[in-house]
């Protein structure tokens, strides 16, 4: 329950802070922007193989339709919607919205 409440708070702050004109994440910001144990469910463009989350984000950066990603076990699921369609807690998943504006000072 606590993880679900924390996820809800993060998603609300993300949706309020997004700049829809910015769809490219600076790779150096990935540690600040990644949501661990979060699956941006649905909204898939498709998936491509990726070595890690950084590789996944680079592939999304190269696709103008890609607005967010979910990475797990070598699969990079690119999404055409911010936060996918139905974000949810799912252990082992790593997700990132391409309009990440979170500060890196934590």
pLDDT tens digits along 12-36: 444 444 444 455 666 677 778 889 9
Length of the chain counted residue by residue: 106
Give the pLDDT confidence of 46-63 residue by residue, as tens digits. Answer: 999 999 999 999 999 999
What are the C-alpha distances in Å from 69 to residues 1, 2, 14?
Answer: 24, 24, 14
φ, ψ at 35 (rounded to 5°): -110, 115
- Positive or negative CA dihedral for 42, 43, 47, 52? negative
Question: Which of 46, 31, 42 is CA-nearest to residue 94?
Answer: 31
| pLDDT score of 7 more than 50 | no
Question: Which of 3, 8, 58 is CA-nearest to residue 29?
Answer: 58
């Amino acid at each position: 329950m606590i993880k679900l409440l924390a996820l809800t708070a993060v998603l609300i702050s993300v949706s309020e802070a997004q700049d829809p004109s910015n769809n490219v994440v600076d790779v150096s910001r990935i540690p600040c922007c990644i949501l661990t144990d979060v699956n941006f469910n649905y909204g898939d463009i498709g998936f491509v193989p990726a070595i890690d989350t950084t590789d996944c984000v680079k592939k999304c950066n190269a696709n103008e339709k890609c607005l967010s990603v979910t990475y797990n076990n070598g699969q990079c699921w690119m999404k055409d919607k911010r936060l996918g369609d139905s974000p949810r807690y799912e252990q082992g998943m790593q997700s990132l919205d391409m309009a990440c504006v979170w500060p890196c000072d934590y």
